[in-house]
Chains A and B, each alone.
Chain A
């Protein structure tokens, strides 16, 4: 291992990668980007969402199957096998009768658990800690920062790094690579630390679980080379190569601009941004920004300067992703105008997204109510960020997609609200904070209205388009059923790795009579042995006094 790089093994070949590279990016850097895994029907698949939801980037790591390569950083000596390569021998049974478990318990129970270390979670943890509350901050990723402050080649953006330093000074404990995979009775959280399990009591919680990208099916969308817009941006930050590649950005929503700018900075040749949104709606949006949200307009203007060379066209919808056969890499994208005209853009990568969907699985498992309305709904909170369940607050994009400034504001407010509830003191929100919150919420409404999507069918997909990518279920097997729920039961749509996160979001709100995705007790895949973790062991305060210094990390090192 050199000072700057690591050596890992991909399909039994040695590969050198810079530190801070994700396993997915390492595979792409060494020619495996167009086939990380094989689908149920044997198609080559590659990374799509970039944030650990879609499961398309799954590879074998050190003999373990179904590892999300976009979520794992390369470690010296790692053995990676992609499934598009030769058959991987199954791992030998371990013959362990006692599966590994985290040492139970913390030296001190934290008063407040914050789930999610993006802007909202970091702000909430800081606000609560400043009031003297002991805080444990959890994040599923290997580095904190969430989506918008994602580390680039191992380096966090300066504002995120500064916040983390302040949190450390305040004594906040941060556990990364820790997923909440379930809720046990008595408001205990089942945690997955990757190779260990634990259970944690969380009588007071702030949920800052963010949002994921809405990815809509279209013919050819399973082809390697097709990514989400935020998805490719996230992959590139992990080292995915796009330098000198022709990239088309398409879909709907303000994220397209940020993605295009990011990709351009990474050396991609961004051919154009094809907005589904009509020009009139975009102009109206810009007009509203000018009048009511000059701060956002300034950010947009900065992006526009970075994108001045990139053509932007409106009213164009992605029709099809083209390439050789069913699973050959992307060669071109056909776009459809509402007038019926089509055109085909040759390209090597497509970054396509349609906005953001709040991530509410954990909130629903805790019993929190969601807002009402068609389509995926955020967690319902009052004007003090309290959810419908006592002791549970929520902040940021999971309470409504409204951008980073709103996430920071609502995070701070949630942290203060939780602290004042824990300490029995009244919550004081300044008038300035109230005005700022109200303005941010108006911005969120404006975004939702301006970038609302047209109907899903029939223009978006045909009978052969796979709706469920995990189980390879085409639209033809779902449509024309009297009952979409029965159609799913019969076709196994939504019963694969992502447990319906992708396909349900696509159908919900766009297809009439699509039932809402049922809340699932298990929030994500986890090793079966983790089911054995049932109890958290509270440790007496006498022990914590003896240990001195910072509380010990209970996870095995």
Chain B
């Protein structure tokens, strides 16, 4: 391994989608960047997740971050993505499935909030829904159709960002685990000292271990996924039950919410579950069965399709569902805790974080993402 070069202006710890987005954005703004990843790029939640680019509107701050992020992504040059499966000719869109009239009212409220932040959403009644998506159960009331949501391959996005960052002069070091970080640099596990003017930790669930003296309430939230063989044309859009929002935003110890998307390859990716307190990467058969049972309610024909593999990943979750983006009292920066929205909000996170690092006017209000916002409430920190 060659010796590190002259001290970097920005050292990034973590080669997931957030770290890679930071590397690209910072390099684009002229900073000398070095990124350190312990294993391979996207080996954490980025490589395990569903890759759903979805604007969730329930939390206004999160919604603003997602909208800003999607705007950044839409500005990235299209020829980047060659070989990385995005963007396609038309976005996949999301169909939020409604079973009851109460849910329908919630869906219409959701439509209002999305329209207000300039993200189109349309109500589809039952017949129109069946025409859009024949595989769905026939007893649904309808769905909220969000046409600009999309599906992307997480590792592809991280690799594309890292590659573009390197084209702009960033250095990306994989298989380089970091032992400790401080305001003016970091130490690798092999003892190498790296000096940097600023350090950002974007290491997902590993972030708290790297900054042990600061209370960072990031907990791993286990999720199961299942990949199904190729059935081209079986499903056209990402379909999600409206109850998914309760599962994602709540903090129940265990919850299941139907979420199915067609990959560009034609395979189908089925989720989702959420569990706290289980760090075993093995797939629990009972929870997998619950997830499948929930899917059969919405897409009855899916039981006959061939399952290829199931696996578990760990989302970095915070008590209020928003990431930590900003500077800690000890001078280290953090950009982590994105739960299930890492891909959606990586670009916006990188833009916001770089704005703050460089002392520019931030593209949106950073207060909701203040990493120290839990320090006033010791109960939340220890949750």
Give chain A's interface residues, CB within 8 Å of chain B: 40, 64-66, 90-97, 99, 182, 184-185, 471, 477, 482-483, 485-486, 489-490, 492, 495-497, 499, 520-522, 525-532, 534
CB distance from B165 to the nearest CB of A (A): 16
Q: Does B229 contact A (CB under 8 A)?
A: yes
Q: Is the CB of B300 within 8 A of A522?
A: no
Chosen A-B contacts, 20 in total, with CB atoms closer than 8 Å, are: A40-B266, A64-B304, A66-B306, A94-B301, A97-B297, A482-B174, A483-B175, A486-B42, A486-B155, A490-B155, A492-B265, A499-B308, A522-B308, A525-B306, A527-B306, A528-B295, A529-B296, A529-B303, A529-B304, A531-B310
Whether a CB of chain A sits under 8 angstroms from the CB of B283 is yes
Main secondary structure of the interface of B (DSSP, over half): mixed
Give the distance to chain A from B261, nearest Cβ to Cβ, in Å. Answer: 15
B297-316 residues at the A interface, CB under 8 angstroms: 297, 299-310
- Count B-side interface residues using an 8 Å CB cutoff: 49
Measured between alpha carbons, how far is A525 from B304 in the docked complex, in Å?
A: 11
Dominant SS at the A interface?
loop
Cβ-defined contact, B174 with A531, below 8 A: no
Does B72 make an interface contact (CB < 8 A)? no
Known contacts A525-B306, A529-B296; 9 further A-B pairs (Cβ under 8 A): A90-B234, A91-B301, A94-B304, A95-B137, A97-B297, A99-B296, A520-B309, A528-B270, A529-B292
Which of B73-129 touch A at CB < 8 Å? 83
Q: B204: CB under 8 A from chain A?
A: no
List residues of B whose CB falls within 8 A of some A CB: 40-43, 47, 83, 134-135, 137-138, 155-156, 159, 174-175, 226-231, 233-234, 265-266, 270, 282-283, 285-286, 288-289, 292-293, 295-297, 299-310
Residue contact B306 to A95, C-beta cutoff 8 Å: no
A-B contact count, CB below 8 Å?
119
Q: In the assembled complex, how far is the CB of residue A42 from the closest CB belonging to chain B, in whole angstroms?
A: 11
User: How far is A99 from B231 in the complex, measured between Cα atoms in Å?
Assistant: 19
B156 touches A528 (CB 8 A): no
- From A93, A477, A532, B289 is in contact (CB under 8 Å) with A532
Q: Establish whether residues A65 and B307, one from each chain, have CB atoms under 8 Å apart when the complex forms.
A: no
Do residues A527 and B307 form an inter-chain contact, with CB atoms below 8 A?
yes
A53 to chain B, nearest CB (A): 14
Q: Which residue of A lies closest to B307 (CB)?
A: A528
Q: Please tell me if the beta carbons of A499 and B289 are within 8 angstroms of each other in the complex.
A: no
User: In the complex, A496→B309 CA distance in Å?
Assistant: 9
B305 cross-chain contacts in A, Cβ below 8 A: 527-528
B227: chain A residues within 8 A (beta carbon): 495
Contacts known (A486-B174, A492-B265); A527 close to B303, Cβ less than 8 A: yes
Taken together as a complex, chains A and B put the C-alpha atoms of A90 and B304 apart, in Å, by 12
| Cβ-closest chain B residue relative to A181 | B307
Decide: B229 and A90 in contact? CB cutoff 8 A: no
Are B229 and A497 in contact, with the CB atoms below 8 A? Answer: yes
Q: Are B307 and A40 in contact (CB under 8 A)?
A: no
A30 to B227, CA, bound (A): 34
Q: Is the CB of B309 within 8 A of A489?
A: no
Q: Are A534 and B289 in contact (CB under 8 A)?
A: yes
Q: Which of B42, B288, B300 contacts A95 (CB 8 A)?
A: B300
Q: Is the CB of B309 within 8 A of A522?
A: yes
- Chain B residue nearest to A487 in the complex (CB): B40
Contact present for B303 and A96 (CB under 8 Å): yes
Taking a contact as CB atoms under 8 Å apart, the answer to whether A528 and B292 are in contact is: yes
**Bound complex: CA of A273 vs CA of B175, how far in Å?**
46
Chain B nearest CB from A82 CB (Å) reads 16
The answer to whether A93 and B40 touch across the interface, beta carbons within 8 angstroms, is no
Shortest B343–chain A CB gap in Å is: 15
Chain B nearest CB: distance from A56 CB in Å? Answer: 14
Partner of A528, one of B41, B175, B303: B303
Contacts of B231 in A (CB 8 A): 65, 90
